[in-house]
A = this chain, B = another copy of it.
Amino acid sequence: MYIFETKIRVRYSETDKMGYAHHGNYASYIEEARTDMMRSIGISYLEMENKGIMLPVLELQTTFLKPAFYDDVITIKTIVEEYPSIRFKLLYEIYNQKNELMSTAKTTLVFVNADTMKPTRPPAFFLNKLAPYF
């Protein structure tokens, strides 16, 4: 199991007329948290994509329990509970500035070979970087 925390400050442009960080931004927040988690163990998502392996999102579930507001620094906990196979499942917990759980999310990603556009096994370097935690 591997857990990594990322902090993101809510931008003005991300708020909506309710005064909340619009829920449409959460997909980007957790995407940033996810690549930050990879970076923390030495995986560059950019380099992997340059090598021809993409990791698109197949499924996203999000609950919105409490709002975040402009200028709040939120904390996103990215949780790798399962060792990845062709599919890579992740959990997320988002905490507001008062450290209250404001959102939970799940994503299912799939490793895709950019040449064939077919699902593929995760590259060896990816598995090697995660192996110590499983």
A116 interfacial contact with B, CB 8 Å: no
* A residues 1-53 touching B (CB-CB < 8 Å): 9, 11-13, 15-20, 22-28, 31-32, 35, 44-46, 49
Cβ-defined contact, A27 with B23, below 8 A: yes
A80 interfacial contact with B, CB 8 Å: no
A71 interfacial contact with B, CB 8 Å: yes
A99 interfacial contact with B, CB 8 Å: no
Interface size class for chain A? Answer: 35 or more
A58 interfacial contact with B, CB 8 Å: yes
Chain A 61-97 near chain B by CB (<8 Å), digits 1 or 0: 1111101001100000000000000000000000000
A58 CA / B46 CA spacing, docked (Å): 26
Contact of A24 among B24, B56, B64, B65 (CB under 8 A): B24
Cβ-defined contact, A17 with B70, below 8 A: yes
Known contacts being A27-B27, A46-B71, A58-B63, is A13 close to B17, with CB within 8 Å?
A: no
A53 CA / B27 CA spacing, docked (Å): 26
Question: Given A17-B19, A60-B62, list of 10 further CB < 8 A pairs?
Answer: A13-B24, A13-B27, A17-B70, A18-B54, A24-B27, A35-B71, A44-B71, A46-B70, A59-B62, A61-B62
